[in-house]
Structure 1
Amino acid sequence: MQEEVISCYHDHPTAAHFGVNRTWLKMRTICYWSNMKKDIHDYIRSCEKCAKFNIRRTAPPGHLHPIEYPQGPLELISMDFWGPTPQYSINGNKYVLIITDYYTKYVIACPLPNNTATSTAKSFVEQFIFKFGIPRRLVTDQGVHFNNELMQNLTTLLGTNH
């Protein structure tokens, strides 16, 4: 019987195949049973019309590419962020930029107050390039702190493949 009630609120020509929250908000003024929202969720996720016509709200994940193993130090490094941490450090840092050399497995952890493109580029230059040199290749995820005009200009200027 519960499935029939959900069907009336979701599938009826005047119901417009609303999502879970809108269907639940309409239904809860008229009826209630335990786990009602979960039942609505399950019903709507199994609706063929919704699956066929609803637009995907998130970008599909990117394709993974194999990484050729480096032949020496500074040939391939990776960068990624950890954070935000639950609490600020004494210096007000909430993020950690992790830089790893794939060949030596050497890791540098750079505490930062934010993960902006400017902070990322500055830390990369000051904490890695000034100390160890210019890497040949750089691997990062698609975060905005790595994929931006500043990092693109920096890696182009350095001759680093990113």
Structure 2
Amino acid sequence: MDEAHKSRYSVHPGSDKMYHDLKTTYWWPNMKAEIATYVSKCLTCSKVKVEYQKPSGLLQQPELPMWKWEQISMDLITKLPKTASGCDTIWVIVDRLTKSAHFLPIKETDKLDKLTRIYIKEVVTRHGVPISIISDRDSRFTSHFWKSLHKALGTRLDMSTAYHPQTDGQTGRLTYR
């Protein structure tokens, strides 16, 4: 049973598959029950098989902001036709309480230092430093530089769940119409 379950060619099959594979060549009394017991005690299977893993936590709705512009969400609309000034992306920044938004034209190739200057000019100087930001997992929002900036400003960065745009629903509603 050890060879049939742990060899590099069998890849830890479940008890049903292992039984069907072995019954063509072997037979012994209580074979199916013994295979099920053997597989249930496999340490590797208990760690990696989906049916043995703990379920993921439930998604939580972000708390409602108490004051305008203390919690914002942001997203990028990319791959747009270039404007006369060369901009091909819109950076959407939305206040989660009032739903007011900034639509900032940028270039997809803009460096983080330029995005930082735009962010400080358009958001921080007008509305103050937000307490938290919800954004998708765009590399510009997950970079070390961006995280360091917000740590220095005292802003909490919250990333939306991958492939679950509802987490960042407010910018999503504005960007995907």
TM range, normalised to the smaller chain?
A: 0.5 to 0.7
1:98–1:108 Cα contact (<8 Å) kept: yes
1:41-86 Cα shifts (integer Å, max 9, x gaps): xxxxxxxxxxxxxxxxxxxxxx85421111111221011000120x
Residue number among 62, 70, 74 corresponding to 2:65 in the alignment: 70
2:82 alignment counterpart: 88
TM-score by length of 1: 0.56
Distance 1:119 1:155 in 2: 15
Tell me how far 1:120 sits from its aligned partner. Answer: 3.0
Aligned length: 99
2:78–2:108 Cα contact (<8 Å) kept: no
Moved over 6 A (4+): none
Distance 1:81 1:69 in 2: 23
Residue number among 110, 116, 123 corresponding to 1:121 in the alignment: 116
Structure 1 stretch displaced more, 96-105 or 115-124: 115-124
Residue number among 127, 152, 161 corresponding to 1:132 in the alignment: 127
2:145 alignment counterpart: 150
1:101-151 Cα shifts (integer Å, max 9, x gaps): 001111000000125433432321121112211111111111101000111
Distance 2:87 2:118 in 1: 13
1:97–1:120 Cα contact (<8 Å) kept: no
2:43 alignment counterpart: none
TM-score by length of 2: 0.52
Distance 1:65 1:119 in 2: 33
1:107 alignment counterpart: 101
Structure with greater helix share of residues = 2
Gap regions ≥5 residues in structure 1:
1-62
Matched to 1:96, the amino acid is I
Distance 1:105 1:71 in 2: 13
Gap regions ≥5 residues in structure 2:
1-57, 158-177
Matched to 2:147, the amino acid is Q
1:120–1:145 Cα contact (<8 Å) kept: no
Highest Rg: 1 or 2? 2
Matched to 2:153, the amino acid is L
RMSD: 1.7
2:92–2:101 Cα contact (<8 Å) kept: yes
1:76–1:101 Cα contact (<8 Å) kept: yes
